[in-house]
Homo-oligomer: A and B are copies of this chain.
Amino acid sequence: MTEMSRNSTQEGGQPGRIGIGLELDATHLKILEVLRENGRISVAALAERVGISRANAYTRFEALRADGAIKRFTAEIDHVRAGLGITALIFVTVRQQMWRQFRTQLAQMPEVEYCAITTGQHDAMIQVRVTDVAAVHAMVTDRLANIPAVKATETVFILDEVLRRPYVLPSDRGPGRSSRRPPADPPAGPARSTGAARSAGSAGPTGSAGSAGGEVPLGMMRFVGVAEGRAQLQQDV
C-alpha cells in the first residue's frame, strides 16, 4: 500500500478505469485546500469552510476519495523527535532492464521514504531517514550495493528542509495569475539552446555562466547528459 500508481496496469485501483474519472471544479479544489492543512477536519466543518451544504460536502468528499484524487490521509511528523534525525538523498544509477528488481528491493527498505525515477545524470533519487550518519553509510554500502540492479550511487545529506507543503494545487496560483507565462516578456539571456545535452563525463552546474553580477545567464534549463545505456532504460520505465 506504499507504492504509487504507475499509470499503467498493476497496483491498487481498478485496472479497468483508466483516464480521468472526475473533473475537479473549483469546489473540489477548495475542499482539497482545506484538507491539505487539516486532514482531520469533520465533513460538517469542511462544508462550512467551503461554503456548501453538509450533504454536498459528504458527496464530494466521498467522490474525491472513491475517484482516487485523494489517495489517503496521513500525519506529518517531526522526524527528529521520532528519532530519525539524519536525512540523505541517494542518487542511483540503475543497470538497464533491472528496474523490476530495483523496485522490489526498494519496497523492502524501511528507511526509504521516497523514490523517484528521474531524467538526467542518474536514474533514480531515493530519500532515506535514519538515526545517524553511520546508518547512511551502512545503507549505501551494505544494502544498496548488494542489489545487482544498482550500478552506482551518489549520496548527499540534507542539512535543512526549508519548505514542505503537503501538496500543491493549481488554485494556489490564484485566480489572477495564470500558470502559463504571459505571451509578452520573452525569456532574456543568450541562445535558447534548451535541449543542449551535456556530454557525459563533464560535470557540474558551473561552466558557461557569465560571471556578471546580478544577471543569471544560465538560468536556462540544463538537462543533464544521458547516462550510458540510458536509451534502453527509458523503454523500461
Report A's interface with B, CB cutoff 8 A: 1-7, 20-22, 24, 29, 32, 35-40, 67-84, 87, 89, 91, 93, 103, 106-107, 110-122, 124-126, 128-132, 134-138, 140-142, 144-148, 150-170, 172-174, 179-181, 185, 187, 189, 194, 200-206, 209, 213-214, 216, 218-224, 227-228, 237
- Whether A81 touches B22, Cβ cut-off 8 Å, given contacts A4-B161, A35-B75, is yes
Copies of this protein chain in the complex: 2
Least CB distance from A193 to B in Å reads: 13
Residues of B within 8 A of A164 (CB): 2, 4, 113-115
Q: Could you tell me the distance between the alpha carbons of A228 and B211 in the complex, rounded to whole angstroms?
A: 13
- Whether A227 touches B203, Cβ cut-off 8 Å, given contacts A37-B72, A161-B4, is no
Supplied contacts A32-B77, A146-B216, 11 more A-B pairs, CB within 8 Å? A36-B74, A38-B74, A74-B75, A76-B167, A89-B118, A111-B172, A111-B173, A152-B216, A153-B219, A202-B203, A206-B228
